[in-house]
A and B are shown apart, each in its own frame.
Chain A
Amino acid sequence: MMFSCIPSYGLSGLTGLSIQIEVDISNGIPSYDTVGLPDATVKESKERIRSAIKNSGFDFPPRRIIVNLAPADQRKNGSLYDLPIALGILAAEGQINQDKIKNIIVLGELALDGSVRKVSGILPMVIDACRLNPGQYFLVPYENAPEASVVNYANIIAIHHLKEAVDYLNGSLNIEPYPSINWNEYDAAQSIYDFCEIHGQQGAKRAAEIAVAGGHNILLIGTPGSGKTMLAQSLVSILPKLTFEEALEVTKIHSIAGKIPSKTGIINERQFRAPHHNASTPALIGGGTYAMPGEISLAHYGVLFLDELPEFRKDVLEALRQPLEDGTVHITRASAHATYPADFMLVAAMNPCPCGYYGSRLTQCKCTPTQITRYRNRISGPLLDRIDLHIEMTEVGFSDLTSKATQESSAAIRERIENVRFRQRERYREENILYNAQLNNQLIQKYCKLNTASELLLKQAFKKLNLSARAYYRILKVARTIADIFDAECIQEEHVAEAIQYRSLDSKYWARERI
């Protein structure tokens, strides 16, 4: 028989796509053709396959070879079909037992010497294939095995070399399925910074705790060197721990982007993504020919840190608005479309003015009022609308005081936050939301009722601080979170009073007084 068929898998966005690889070998002038909408990487596989087969001690048939990737109307891309095609050729030649390959999904890239290299996107494929057929066998590169073994009802056969694969399929070599990992092993995830390493900045730390507790987006404002970046990085350490389902979803996205740590195989901590401010819209939102996930999806369930927010291109920032609202992003390209989750906490940072020293006691600000206004106006109102807390960092280096307060560790803060999050989940069980930041105006009126005293205080705030109308709902939401932190059923006056402190950009004292 000069024909073989091997199952493999492909991806369209986050969903899998079953692919059959058919190889036919016939007599005639030696040639090699790949059909079924292959892209350049798949076409190029011919040379890799030829060398790999030869260098593994097999014969590459000097005949007419046709490779078909079915279904023929779907585009195939990536190097993951090297291994199945090579095995298909060998099977068609009769060098491998045909029966054995019918039920095992094969994925992997080949090196010229026949060794198998890792590929991206394994996890979503395994999850998808196992949903249809639990207990499915997979033949995957060894480096991808930890990632694939996250799915504990899949049988993962990890191989290093083409020869190994052939021997396994012929039954001369026995490989046990890769042990599936235990989620609890990854409990000890550590982030780069701990909150106890940040000295001073009590106000900002408090605000950060509120933000994380209620899932609010934040904007950090401060002079250069005031610790905005460090605070943002340590936020990851106080975010509630990832659940297994969440981790799986995050890992899936990273798998597509080919960004899985090969050791652990699963992403077990919340991600901190900090794209540089010259990032393009596709880089941030996702896109490209194959509609790949962008930074916002890689930051799913984690923190997206945009340092120097006003330096980002305006169209890039505006593109953030829809994902911030929905928690997902739809990417459509001519040849591909995908929907990726993008439920992240936005942490933006900016200087108070172009030179950075407005409000500094150490360095004189050199900016004119017009420059400052122009700088601030680069952040549009609708985007600012989606940021609940504006945190002003205090300047470091001026103070004559040395910090003597003992600093709380991230673990302690995280524990508090888990409790507050739990309280919110309980309250909003019927509303299909998880935390306060997701409240819309209607729900705010239902859940953020004020008593007379706090109502009065808020009215006063509007008059005195010249707050904008949009600040009203933001303050209510934040006050709700503060009340939750204090385990209070109703929002009290002091909760509103504290929330008012986090609206710097809305109040007039922040913009220079108009002459």
Chain B
Amino acid sequence: MRDFTSQERLWLWLNSVTAHYIKKFHLILEQFSDIEEVYEEAHRKNESAFHFLDEKTRHKLFHSATEEYINQYVRWLNKHEVDIVLQTSDNYPALLKEIEDPPAILFIRGHLVPNPTLPIAMIGMRNCSDYGTRITKQLATGLAEQGATIISGMARGIDSWASRGALDCKTSDYPTIAVLGSGVDVIYPPENARLYYEIIERGAVISEFLPSTQPHASHFPVRNRVISGLSRGVVVVQAGKRSGTSITVNYALDQGRDVFAVPGQIDDIHSVGINALIQTGSAKPIFGISDILEEYGFYPEEPLQIQPKKIDLFGLNDMERSIVEQLIKGERNFDELCELLSYSPAELNSTLTSLEFSEIIKQLPGRIYKV
């Protein structure tokens, strides 16, 4: 049970009326000498003091300006284990304070470390490819092991895998922060429930939206500015032509954060956005976590770059070798292999199974095989 200070209680009250509309929040605050005065005037239902507000907001403000209302709100927060931090507080992330329009209140579940050594955001496509998943996990785990905190939006795809990768690092106590586009108690997407609770356990889920707010398309761009604002660098793994990712990247550049990009194949729909970032020079292409760490003066003892997978071709028989050699050139589906390597489907089937079991190749949906 946490006791909220009177300052916090009043901020919560005003925030509950203005919600995540920061400009409105400050507009009201600026008209008065302090927040106590706002409350007093609202409590007395002084119409003339709030003449600059629309009827609806004013009504809401007057209606809620009671001790009873605030008490109820605070009880609810305590019951759902939601903590808050005010913009004015020392516990408010210092990096976030720097940005334009930082959230007045952050709602928190879990434990938010206000000033982590190296906060790095990882973002990307929701419909990521196998390559995206793999690289995101590797990078996130590697960065977390070096003491970084991974910030992501817990969306489908890259975001989720970034959190998962960070949680896979067992040496860090608080490896990840998730910034939601819904109320802090609303799990979206629903299939991430397990991930959500694990993040609360070993990090923080935060949101500037009022608790119980449902996700909405308009929330995500707003949320994205917090993701970049919380971090020192933003790693983009996969991005399509037009995406939410580009919004985050723009925020990051505006806020003066570094942007890193994981290069992709040029004819891959998953890499169109990313390669454009590299071409225009807004992002630094990276080949591993060393490329990120060196920007911040971290020089790990051994270079931590991601290397292409090495395959021992000598342990294989002729047929296996010819299949693997073919797949090294690029992924192929079953029928293409049939065409390329004049083996019968029967032989191919059984050899592919054994290669799969030796973990030399991997099967993807659509009978596509890759090394």
Contact = CB atoms under 8 A, between A and B. Distances in A.
Interface of A: 200-203, 205-206, 222-223, 352, 358-361, 364-366, 368-370, 392-395, 398-399, 401, 403-405, 457, 460-461, 464-465, 482, 485-486, 493-495, 497-498, 500-501, 509-510, 513-515
B364 A497 contact: no
Contacts of A399: 333, 335-336, 339
A401 B340 contact: yes
A76 to B, nearest CB: 56
B350 A494 contact: yes
Contacts of B359: 464
Contact of B366 (A392, A405, A465, A513): A392
8 contacts: A206-B346, A358-B366, A399-B335, A399-B336, A399-B339, A405-B342, A461-B353, A509-B364
A457 B354 CA distance: 8
Contacts of B364: 359, 509
Contacts of B353: 457, 461, 497-498, 500-501
Given A203-B349, A494-B350, A514-B191, 9 more contacts: A206-B344, A368-B156, A369-B191, A392-B366, A393-B367, A398-B333, A399-B335, A509-B362, A515-B195
A206 B269 contact: no
* Main DSSP-derived SS at the A contact region: loop
Given A203-B338, A399-B336, A498-B350, A515 B366 contact: no
A396 B121 CA distance: 39
Contacts of A358: 365-366
Interface of B: 127, 133, 156, 160-161, 164, 189-192, 194-195, 240, 269, 333-336, 338-340, 342, 344-354, 356-357, 359, 362-368
A482 B192 contact: no
Contact of A370 (B190, B333, B336): B190
A497 B195 contact: no
- Among B339, B340, B351, B367, max chain A CB count under 10 A is at B367
Contacts of A510: 365
Contacts of A223: 366
B189 A370 contact: yes
Contact of B133 (A206, A359, A513): A513
B156 A394 contact: no
Contact of A201 (B191, B240, B335): B335
Contact of B367 (A370, A394, A464): A394
A365 B161 CA distance: 18
A352 B195 contact: no
A401 B357 contact: no
Closest 9 pairs (CB-CB, A-B): A359-B365, A359-B366, A497-B350, A206-B345, A498-B349, A494-B350, A497-B353, A203-B334, A202-B338
Most chain B CB within a 10 A radius of its CB, from A370, A405, A486, A515: A515
A515 B365 contact: no
Nearest to A404: B339
B339 A403 contact: yes
B333 A395 contact: yes
Nearest to A360: B366
Nearest to A494: B350
Given A200-B335, A203-B335, A368-B156, A482 B366 contact: no
Contacts of B333: 394-395, 398-399
B142 to A, nearest CB: 19
Contact of A515 (B191, B339, B349): B191
A465 B189 CA distance: 27
Given A203-B345, A515-B161, A461 B357 contact: yes
Contact of A364 (B127, B339, B354): B127
B319 to A, nearest CB: 11
B338 A501 contact: no
Contacts of A464: 356-357, 359
Contacts of A461: 353, 357
Contacts of B356: 464-465
Given A202-B334, A399-B335, A401-B340, A482 B346 contact: yes
A460 to B, nearest CB: 5
Contact of A202 (B335, B350, B354): B335
Contacts of B338: 202-203, 405
A369 B156 contact: yes
B334 to A, nearest CB: 4
Contacts of B339: 200, 202, 399, 401, 403-405
B356 to A, nearest CB: 7
Contacts of B191: 368-370, 514-515
A455 to B, nearest CB: 14
Contacts of A457: 353-354, 357
Give the most central of B156, B334, B352, B368: most A CB within 10 Å. B334
| Of A360, A366, A394, A510, most B-chain CB atoms within 10 Å | A394
Contacts of B127: 364-366
B365 A394 contact: no
A500 B192 CA distance: 31
B160 A206 contact: no
A514 B338 CA distance: 32
Contacts of A497: 349-351, 353-354
